[in-house]
């Protein structure tokens, strides 16, 4: 396994551990919000690692192709948009649009007002959005994070990282 893959695997494992910590803390009102935010931050660090290794030129053509798919995945990038709520970072694009957009695991795009509070979004495992064009959407953090792990792991298996 190349040193780039070792670094990516380390960040993937750290992300998975943060999700497990969140799963353990879902019922703990004192730790739920922080561990949920930390899980999304772990995904952000993983994607940043992939981008860094991709831009370094150290990956093979096959690895680059796979990591390009992860880097450009709409679902994962939507979760990164959700992470900005926790980090109190609002992109210029979100400010101009008045919303951030993410995808539900089932596929439809969900609009989240850019002014939504981190307390509302991360204090429970699920939160509800009333959307003018779609009605009501329920966002489930554990479901989102589990899907992110599954989607990423499937791509990473293609580069033979279990070998």
DSSP letters of 105-131?
A: TTS-EEEEETT--HHHHHSSSEEEEEE
Average pLDDT across the chain, whole number: 83
The residue behind tokens 């699920």 is 126
Tell me whether residue 120 is in a domain: yes
Q: What is the pTM of this model?
A: 0.85
Q: Report the distance separating Cα 91 and Cα 94, nearest Å.
A: 5
User: What pLDDT shows up at residue 87?
Assistant: 67
* Percentage of the chain lying above the pLDDT 90 cut: 32
Q: Which two tokens stand for residue 46?
A: 């993983």
53 in Cβ contact with 4 (< 8 Å): yes
Tell me whether residue 162 is in a domain: no
DSSP-derived letter for residue 87 is T
Looking at per-residue pLDDT, the higher value among 132 and 6 belongs to 6
Q: Would you place residue 74 in the very low, low, confident or very high pLDDT band (cuts 50, 70, 90)?
A: confident
The mean pLDDT of 78-107, rounded to a whole number, is 72
Tell me whether residue 163 is in a domain: no
Looking at per-residue pLDDT, the higher value among 88 and 103 belongs to 103
Tell me whether residue 86 is in a domain: yes
The mean pLDDT of 37-66, rounded to a whole number, is 88
The mean pLDDT of 43-61, rounded to a whole number, is 88
Tell me whether residue 12 is in a domain: yes
pLDDT of 94 > 70? The answer is no
pLDDT of 156 > 60? The answer is yes
pLDDT of 88 > 70? The answer is no
Q: How many residues does the chain have?
A: 163
User: What pLDDT shows up at residue 98?
Assistant: 72
Q: Which residue segment(s) compose the domain that 89 sits in?
A: 3-157
Q: Report the distance separating Cα 132 and Cα 160, nearest Å.
A: 44
Tell me whether residue 125 is in a domain: yes
Tell me whether residue 95 is in a domain: yes
User: What pLDDT shows up at residue 42?
Assistant: 96
β-strand pairing of 109-113 with 99-103: antiparallel
Total domain count for the chain? 1
């Amino acid at each position: 396994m190349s040193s780039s893959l070792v670094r990516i695997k380390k960040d993937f494992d750290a992300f998975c551990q943060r999700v497990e910590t969140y799963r353990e803390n879902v019922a703990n009102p004192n730790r739920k919000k922080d561990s949920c935010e930390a899980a999304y931050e772990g995904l952000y660090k993983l994607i940043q690692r992939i981008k860094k290794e991709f831009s370094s030129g150290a990956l093979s053509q096959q690895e680059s192709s796979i990591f390009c798919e992860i880097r450009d995945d709409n679902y994962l990038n939507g979760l990164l948009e959700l992470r900005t709520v926790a980090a109190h970072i609002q992109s210029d694009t979100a400010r101009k649009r008045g919303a951030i957009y993410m995808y539900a695991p089932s596929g439809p795009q969900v609009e989240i007002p850019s002014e939504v509070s981190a307390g509302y979004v991360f204090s429970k495992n699920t939160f509800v959005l009333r959307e003018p064009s779609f009605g009501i959407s329920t966002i489930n953090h554990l479901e989102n994070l589990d899907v992110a792990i599954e989607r990423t792991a499937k791509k990473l298996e293609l580069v033979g990282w279990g070998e």
